[in-house]
């Protein structure tokens, strides 16, 4: 994906990390996730570096709500070990490159998780759920949203709860019911396009995608152009918020209006 950097502030090199002299991000992702790293790196401005710490989980079969919870609990049990690994590189910030857990128990649950990670690490923490909320606020005037996820219904219900807690009317949720955490990344751009078409409608102000292993950044940018409404990929929103909350204003084309304009 071609990147056109519109703004790149001139910042003198310091005694900080020689490559990540503007910001050193630790990114915590499930070991089965193959989308976060390439999508974040494609959005990375000069002087910012991304460093992956993996939550070791098996690629469990997911067929229903119960097996979805088995997968989620595998992630929960191994997350803090990955966070500890990430902290050994002394990052400036911690980015949680995983999605479902950041929506669990609504806005209150997200804030509880955010606060616990901040207290444990002593670092700023960026989570996908809160980042998407910030992205929706940046566009302004959005109240009715449709959501695409890779989840089973139990996960979709938590995503709905989070956005409703934040004051949005969730018009539709399309759960793709992916068969394993690794296979989420196998959903094609054509399938994602069709999911966008299914949830879109005249009563939808914006479309939001959750699930960090869905490679949706490119699809979102294309769909946003054609539909003439916000289409927000969770990886784009999370990385955008990591940059903007650190005062890094670089604007980039190829990822939709969020990174190009806000």
Placement of tokens 């490679």 in the chain = 215
Residue 260 lies in a domain: no
Name residue 175's beta-bridge partners. 149
Name the more confident of 113 and 16.
113
pLDDT digits (tens, 9 = 90+) for 251-261: 999 999 999 99
pLDDT digits (tens, 9 = 90+) for 124-155: 999 999 999 999 999 999 999 999 999 999 99
Q: What share of the chain is helix, strand, coil (3-state, %, to 5)?
A: 45, 20, 35
Three-state SS at 5: strand
Measured CA to CA, the distance from residue 238 to residue 109 in angstroms comes to: 18
Query: Would you say residue 4 has pLDDT above 80?
Result: no
**How many alpha carbons fall within 13 Å on the CB side of residue 147?**
30
Structural domain total, the chain:
1
Nearest CA-CA partner of 144 in 101, 89, 90, 199 = 199
Cβ-contact 59, 180 below 8 angstroms: yes
Measured CA to CA, the distance from residue 252 to residue 43 in angstroms comes to: 8
Query: Would you say residue 14 has pLDDT above 70?
Result: no
Q: Kind and range of the H or E element at 172? A: strand 169-175
Mean pLDDT of 16-35: 96
Q: What is the pLDDT of residue 262?
A: 97
Mean pLDDT of 105-111: 97
Provide the percentage of residues in the chain whose pLDDT is more than 70.
Answer: 94
**The whole model's pTM is what?**
0.93
- Name the token pair of 23: 């910001």
pLDDT digits (tens, 9 = 90+) for 32-77: 999 999 999 999 999 999 999 999 999 999 999 999 999 999 999 9
Residue 24 lies in a domain: yes
Residue 40 lies in a domain: yes
Nearest CA-CA partner of 29 in 103, 91, 78, 96 = 96
Q: What is the pLDDT of residue 15?
A: 66
Query: Would you say residue 108 has pLDDT above 80?
Result: yes
Give the strands of the sheet with 231-233, arranged side by side.
Answer: 169-175, 144-149, 206-209, 231-233
Measured CA to CA, the distance from residue 167 to residue 205 in angstroms comes to: 14
Measured CA to CA, the distance from residue 175 to residue 211 in angstroms comes to: 10
Query: Would you say residue 218 has pLDDT above 60?
Result: yes
**What domain range includes position 83?**
4-249
Measured CA to CA, the distance from residue 191 to residue 124 in angstroms comes to: 35
Q: What is the pLDDT of residue 158?
A: 97
Q: What CATH number does residue 66 fall under?
A: 3.40.50.12500
Task: State the helix-helix crossing angle for 234-244 and 128-139, rounded to 10 degrees.
Answer: 80
Mean pLDDT of the residues in the chain: 94
Q: What is the pLDDT of residue 74?
A: 95
Query: Would you say residue 11 has pLDDT above 70?
Result: no
Residue 83 lies in a domain: yes
Placement of tokens 């399938």 in the chain = 191
Cβ-contact 185, 35 below 8 angstroms: yes
Measured CA to CA, the distance from residue 194 to residue 4 in angstroms comes to: 28
pLDDT digits (tens, 9 = 90+) for 148-199: 999 999 999 999 999 999 999 999 999 999 999 999 999 999 999 999 999 9
Q: What is the pLDDT of residue 16?
A: 85
- Name the token pair of 234: 């969770």
Residue 255 lies in a domain: no
Cβ-contact 36, 186 below 8 angstroms: no
H-state helical runs in the chain: 36-42, 65-87, 100-103, 106-121, 128-139, 153-165, 189-199, 217-227, 234-244, 257-261
Cβ-contact 83, 113 below 8 angstroms: no
Q: What is the pLDDT of residue 223?
A: 98
């Amino acid at each position: 994906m071609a990147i056109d950097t519109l703004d790149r502030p001139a910042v003198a090199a310091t005694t900080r990390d020689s490559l990540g002299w503007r910001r050193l991000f630790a990114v915590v992702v499930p070991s089965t996730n193959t989308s976060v790293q390439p999508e974040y790196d494609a959005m990375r401005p000069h002087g910012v570096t991304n460093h992956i710490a993996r939550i070791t989980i098996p690629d469990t079969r997911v067929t229903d709500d119960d097996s979805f919870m088995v997968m989620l609990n595998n992630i929960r049990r191994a997350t803090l070990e990955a966070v500890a690994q990430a902290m050994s590189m002394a990052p400036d910030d911690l980015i949680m490159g995983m999605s479902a857990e950041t929506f669990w128990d609504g806005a209150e649950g997200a804030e509880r998780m955010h606060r616990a990670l901040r207290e444990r690490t002593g670092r700023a923490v960026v989570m996908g759920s809160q980042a998407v909320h910030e992205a929706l606020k940046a566009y302004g005037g959005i109240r009715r949203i449709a959501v695409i996820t890779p989840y089973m219904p139990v996960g979709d219900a938590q995503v709905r709860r989070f956005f409703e807690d934040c004051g949005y009317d969730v018009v539709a949720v399309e759960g793709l019911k992916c068969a394993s955490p690794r296979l989420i990344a196998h959903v094609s751009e054509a399938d994602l396009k069709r999911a966008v078409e299914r949830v879109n409608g005249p009563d939808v102000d914006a479309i939001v995608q959750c699930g960090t292993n869905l490679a949706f950044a490119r699809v979102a940018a294309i769909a946003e152009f054609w539909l003439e409404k916000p289409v927000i990929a969770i990886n784009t929103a999370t990385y955008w918020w990591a940059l903007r909350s650190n005062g890094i204003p670089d604007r980039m084309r190829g990822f939709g209006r969020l990174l190009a304009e806000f």
